[in-house]
A and B are shown apart, each in its own frame.
Chain A
Amino acid sequence: MSERHFVPKSDVEYTKADFTSDQMVKWCPGCGDHAILSSLLNTFPKTHTKKENIVMVSGIGCSSRIPYYVDTYGFHSIHGRACAIATGVKLANPALSVWVNMGDGDSMAIGGNHLIHAIRRNQDLNITIFNNEIYGLTKGQYSPTTKFGQVTKTSPYGTIDYPFNPGELVMGAQGTFFARTLDCVPALTTDVMERAAQHDGASVVEVLQNCMIFNDKTHAAITDRAVRDDRTIVLEHGKPMIFGKEKNKGLRFNGRQLEAVVIGENGVTIDDIMIHDETIEDTGIHMMLAHMGGDLPVALGVIRNVKKTSYTQLYEDQMDEQMTNGKYKCVDDLLNSGDTWEV
């Protein structure tokens, strides 16, 4: 099956300013959403997509206000349904570049069903999940990603809900693209968003985002400058999985699981360190990478990027085939088909 591209490229060289809307941005000062918006606005010019062909679809929540702040077509819909609405937009007009923005509650609680099915179909959508592990717009209730045991307004004795890891959900739903980034590293965010846009099929970017009002520092254990290099690893396709301030730590597969090792200690050499391959079809290793945390560094960058014919292409191929070779050329043909008679 030959690969087809449905979104036309633009000849115009856009800048970030071309995508900045005239609306006042109303997020709290210091909110991680500002940085994500900025990264997104920096991404659009790099995709060379005609401005008119970009559609931003969101659900409900703080992050879902984003369509108002981007000067494209936009749809600020209802809670949890952004993926479903975006699917309709793309099916009605495959020439549109469709971006979906949701928070953790929006995408994985009320909208969980739509998210996994959009991923399963490999519908050509660029999905960004702003994960601050809390319901911010309703002022501080626990979400499906809130850490186990955390005290929030609706869990005064600590949550007893085990959280979702968005990456694992993506893998479980046979997702073809998953990347993770931090709101406070805009260059990485722009980089993975650009990669997501290039991907044919459903791409999911999880941004670990800080809500300074209701869940401040929830990601601090990995994002603080003092620890970031040791607690995170930025994966790059084809390169050894090395991390740490001194760039001397790496990931090794010990036959049972991943482990962090120090190069030069206990006989470990660079040759022992795993090479990242984002294109492996089997989800096993990507699942392990997405799962990392605790003693292992949290994986950032593009964790999985697998080629699989997108729903968009499968759909359009069938449409084209039927439009060309199908039985009926117009509705009159259909009305007069089969058993009919004259009175």
Chain B
Amino acid sequence: MSQDQIVNKDDLVVRFAGDSGDGMQLSGTLFSDASALTGNDIATFPDYPAEIRAPHNTIAGVSGYQVHVGSHIYSSGDKCDILVAMNPAAFKSQLKWAKKGATVIVDADTFTPDALEKAGYNENPFTEEFERAYTIVHAPITSFTAKIGESQGVDKKTTEKCRNMFALGMIFFLTNKTLEKTFAYLERKFAKKPDVVKLNKAVLSEGYEYAEKLELIHSKIVSIANADKMEHGRYRNITGNVATAWGLLAASERSGRRLFLGSYPITPATDVMVELAKHKSLGARVFQAEDEIAGICSAIGASFAGALACTSTSGPGLSLKSEALGLAVMTELPLVVVDVQRGGPSTGLPTKTEQSDLNQALYGRNGEAPLIVVAASSSANCFYWAYTAAKLALEHMTPVILLTDGYLGNGSQLFRIPKVADLPAITPRLAKPNDPNFRPFRRDPETFAREWALPGMEGLRHRVGGLEKCPDGPLSTDPENHALMTKNRQEKVDRVANYIPDQEVTGNPDADLLVVGWGGTSGALTLAVEEMNNEGKKVAYTHFNYICPLPKNTGDILRKYKKIVVCELNNGQFAGYLRTQYPECPMTQYNKVMGLPFEVGELKDEFNKLLGE
């Protein structure tokens, strides 16, 4: 095959699928890293089961990792151009994610009668019809890998773990990438195991050469790396959960407040804690608590003592934290609660994404308990929303819930690296020691935030707690006082609207149809709206990150459009919330509750239908 047989594409989607232990997440990560380093924009979507190692060769155990690369990428892509299936179960369950005509690479050695039966096949899946519809490559991945292992004298078990490198090598050839960066990665990762490095490199190269010699493959599919479209600067790859952790670290440094994270492991939020636990050198004080309740309670204690206090969790964990969240509202202490949403209710779909914790975030407490809710909308901007959540908490003396989701948290994207000094300043509302006028609930006339007096500060001794207090501090059950304090706590959150930017409309602002989204769906929504406007349709789009309070111009925007469709991965929680605030604006909904992100195709179908009505 010669170099001129290259098909250039604006973007390219590759999906790796195999057994949970087959190293698909690693193959996907290495491919996305190599793509990013050659100037591509990227977005990734790990799609893995809750079971760590489900029975071998079963559909329950299939783990997938989709990578979308190209010149300007918003989402992890609907369907893939290249599918790698390491066994029949992966092939059977993942083929639906392949475009018609896609290149499908299977490990031919694994298609044994036994494995086919385990995957639920009664007959040969590679029918004539199938072979016509796809470019199928039956690669002997297991046997080739085994031969290399044998020649190097490596045991069978270790060798089997390298099969993913063979597949990755093939993909590297197919997408016209070099192996150097990945070699360097392997050398770093297995620095203490030179024989493992040697084996992995050999298998990777063998996969590459195998693809090169393959006559079946007539062309390489190459995404156009168009760095010109990207803002200049230094870039890196980052997952949403790591970006969240780093945003909190940056906020700690910028505010001068120690970072404290009290958390309990829960999928898919655990990586926020795992990441912060590494960074004691940056002053991150991480506490793995005995349960979710202790996670948030330790954070509330840390906040009382003066830290930028955070807790990270997912849906069921947020339920457990509800009572303590009310305590943070009542004591008016700064607190950041990160909820990496997953499919619910109850244990639900721990490894799948959803946006169904919105109502819980807005309303899930006893009493009148307002707080700030914000949502990140891309893996990379989790950094900025974590930073913003911390800034709002510290400056307005209130708990803030940051909603991300499994898709953002586990997915990765390019991240343009900021300088911490360029981030907006954070000014905590610290009281002055020995201030004779200090009162625990005296409020700033503009923000209505109280002052933060820290244990250890002289002359400011006071008590806080869950019981209603009067502005001067002592307990009060006086009816008028309770009414006043309730009103003031609400007013404090409402006034945050004075400190946040206006909501923006993109797409075609003069359209009849307004698409409304919030949180983690912005990639697919942006692309769907962009494609429709490019096709000559008129669609406007507004995406919310500030959820409570909403930006002040929200009503002005909503009242402007004849048709509004609120799109979200739940049964209509944001739509319901908007309706209570703007009952004059009729809205339709587009909802998906499948544990999966939106696809651009299905969104466009819906919008086209609405335009036609």
Instruction: Note all chain B residues with C-beta closer than 8 A to A86.
Output: 301
Q: How far is the CA of A331 from the CA of B284 in the complex (A)?
A: 11
Contact B455 A89 (CB under 8 A): yes
Interface band, chain B: 35 or more
Contact A89 B289 (CB under 8 A): no
CB of B139 within 8 A of chain A?
no
A85 touches which of B290, B300, B420, B463 (Cβ 8 Å) = B300
User: Contact flags (1/0) for A92-122 with B, using CB distance below 8 Å?
Assistant: 1101100000000000000001100100000
Cβ distance B306 to chain A, nearest Cβ, rounded Å: 6
Q: How far is the CA of A106 from the CA of B235 in the complex (A)?
A: 51
Whether A67 contacts B280 in the complex (CB less than 8 A), given A89-B304, A341-B235, comes out as no
Cβ distance B265 to chain A, nearest Cβ, rounded Å: 15
Whether A331 contacts B260 in the complex (CB less than 8 A), given A74-B463, A323-B280, comes out as no
Contact A88 B299 (CB under 8 A): yes
Contact B301 A87 (CB under 8 A): yes
Which listed segment binds A: B48-56, B97-105, B116-124, B225-233? B225-233
CB of B467 within 8 A of chain A?
yes
A51 touches which of B249, B253, B287, B461 (Cβ 8 Å) = B461
Whether A339 contacts B37 in the complex (CB less than 8 A), given A52-B458, A95-B456, A113-B290, comes out as yes
Instruction: Note all chain A residues with C-beta closer than 8 A to B461.
Output: 51-52, 71-74
CB of A156 within 8 A of chain B?
no
Instruction: Note all chain A residues with C-beta closer than 8 A to B253.
Output: 330-331
Q: How far is the CA of A190 from the CA of B181 in the complex (A)?
A: 67
Contact A88 B457 (CB under 8 A): no
Q: How far is the CA of A101 from the CA of B459 in the complex (A)?
A: 23
Contact B305 A336 (CB under 8 A): no
CB of B246 within 8 A of chain A?
yes
CB of A343 within 8 A of chain B?
yes
Q: How far is the CA of A92 from the CA of B454 in the complex (A)?
A: 11
Interface band, chain A: 35 or more
Instruction: Note all chain B residues with C-beta closer than 8 A to A92.
Output: 258, 260, 285, 301-303, 305-307, 309
Contacting A at CB under 8 A, from B278-319, are: 279-283, 285, 287, 289-291, 293-294, 297-307, 309
Instruction: Note all chain A residues with C-beta closer than 8 A to B462.
Output: 73-74
Contact B305 A88 (CB under 8 A): yes
Contacting A at CB under 8 A, from B243-299, are: 246, 249-250, 253, 258, 260, 262, 279-283, 285, 287, 289-291, 293-294, 297-299
In addition to A57-B301, A67-B465, 13 A-B residue pairs with Cβ atoms within 8 Å of each other are A54-B455, A73-B455, A75-B304, A75-B464, A85-B301, A88-B303, A89-B305, A114-B293, A328-B282, A330-B282, A331-B250, A342-B234, A343-B227
A residues at B contact (CB < 8 Å): 23, 51-55, 57, 60, 67-68, 71-78, 81, 84-93, 95-96, 113-114, 117, 315, 318-319, 321-323, 325-332, 334-336, 338-343
For this complex, 7 residue pairs linking A to B, each with C-beta atoms less than 8 Å apart, are A23-B474, A68-B463, A77-B466, A84-B297, A88-B260, A326-B279, A335-B417
B residues at A contact (CB < 8 Å): 33, 36-37, 39, 181, 227, 230-237, 246, 249-250, 253, 258, 260, 262, 279-283, 285, 287, 289-291, 293-294, 297-307, 309, 323-324, 327, 331, 417-420, 454-467, 474-475
